[in-house]
Amino acid sequence: MKYIFLFAACVLFACQKPILGDVNAPGSNNNGANAKVVWTGPVETDGCGWTLQINDTFYHPETLSEDFQQDQLNVIVSYQATKGIFACGIAGNGLPIIQITSIRKE
């Protein structure tokens, strides 16, 4: 009986859907966010490459045009969250991957 309860509890928590309005849920669209382009160093030396800092969270863009590869550049970005995690950094925790749909300098 306790195994059935344990199994049911695991299924219940594993199958939760994202909360409506969760801007970081995979597939969610985020239009016009203020962001900062940040160079965190080469991945080979425990950096995470080019990242976007939105509020206090760092994201790894799937692609970032060379026109925007300037450290500390303020931009306005529209993006779509993905399910992916970009493994990087000394701890290897990684960053959420986003797909940029539009970007412009602030």
**What percent of the chain is predicted at pLDDT more than 90?**
63
**pLDDT at residue 76 greater than cutoff 90:** yes
CA distance 36 to 58: 9
In the chain, how many H helices and how many E strands?
Answer: 1, 5
Range with lowest mean pLDDT among 3-7, 56-60, 95-99: 3-7
Q: Does the pLDDT at position 8 exceed 60?
A: no
pLDDT at 66 (0 to 100):
96
Residue 37's Cβ-count burial label (10 Å; 0-12, 13-18, 19+) is buried
Domain 21-105 annotated CATH 3.40.50: no
Q: CA 40 to CA 37: how far, in whole Å?
A: 10
Mean pLDDT of 73-88: 96
pLDDT-derived band at 17, boundaries 50, 70, 90:
very low
- pLDDT tops 80 at residue 48: yes
For every residue of 51-84, DSSP letters joined together read EEEETTEEEEES---GGG--TTEEEEEEEEEEEE
> pLDDT category, 92, cuts 50, 70, 90?
confident
Q: What is the predicted pLDDT for the residue at 10?
A: 42
